Amino acid sequence: MNRTIEIQDLGQKDYLATWAYQEELFQSVLATKIKNRREDAHLETSNYLLFVEHPHVYTLGKSGDVSNLLLNEEQLIQKGATFYKINRGGDITYHGPGQVVGYPILDLENFFTDIHKYLRLLEEMVILTLAEYGVKSERSPGETGVWLDVGTPFARKICAMGVRASRWVTMHGFALNVNADLGYFDHIIPCGIRGKAVTTLNVELGVDTVDEAEIKAKLLSHFLNLFEAIPQHENFTL
Mean pLDDT (the chain) is: 93
pLDDT score of 133: 98
pLDDT score of 89: 75
The length of the chain is 238
pLDDT score of 196: 72
Please tell me whether 11 is known to bind a ligand.
no
Tell which wins on pLDDT, 153 or 189.
Answer: 153
pLDDT score of 7: 96
* Contact residues for 28 (Cβ-Cβ < 8 A; gap 6+): 46
Please tell me whether 14 is known to bind a ligand.
no
Tell which wins on pLDDT, 130 or 93.
Answer: 130
- Classify strands 138-140 and 143-148 as parallel, antiparallel or unpaired: antiparallel
Strand partners, 51: 9, 102
pLDDT score of 61: 85
Assign 90 a pLDDT band (cuts: 50, 70, 90). confident
Please tell me whether 162 is known to bind a ligand.
yes
pLDDT score of 63: 79
Whether 159 sits among the annotated catalytic residues: the reply is no
Please tell me whether 88 is known to bind a ligand.
yes
- Classify strands 48-53 and 99-105 as parallel, antiparallel or unpaired: antiparallel
Please tell me whether 20 is known to bind a ligand.
no
Question: Does residue 100 have a pLDDT over 80?
Answer: yes
Beta strands in the chain (DSSP E): 4-12, 48-53, 57-60, 82-85, 92-95, 99-105, 138-140, 143-148, 156-166, 169-177, 197-198, 230-234
Question: Does residue 188 have a pLDDT over 90?
Answer: no
Ordered structural domains, the chain, with CATH = 4-234 (3.30.930.10)
Of 108, 127, 176, 191, which is the active-site residue?
Answer: 191
Lowest-confidence segment of 35-39, 73-77, 186-190, 220-224 by average pLDDT: 186-190
pLDDT score of 194: 59
Tally of CB atoms within 10 A around 212: 18
Segment 38-45 mean pLDDT: 93
Please tell me whether 92 is known to bind a ligand.
yes
Share of the chain above pLDDT 90, in %: 80
Note whether 144 and 161 are within 8 A (CB).
yes
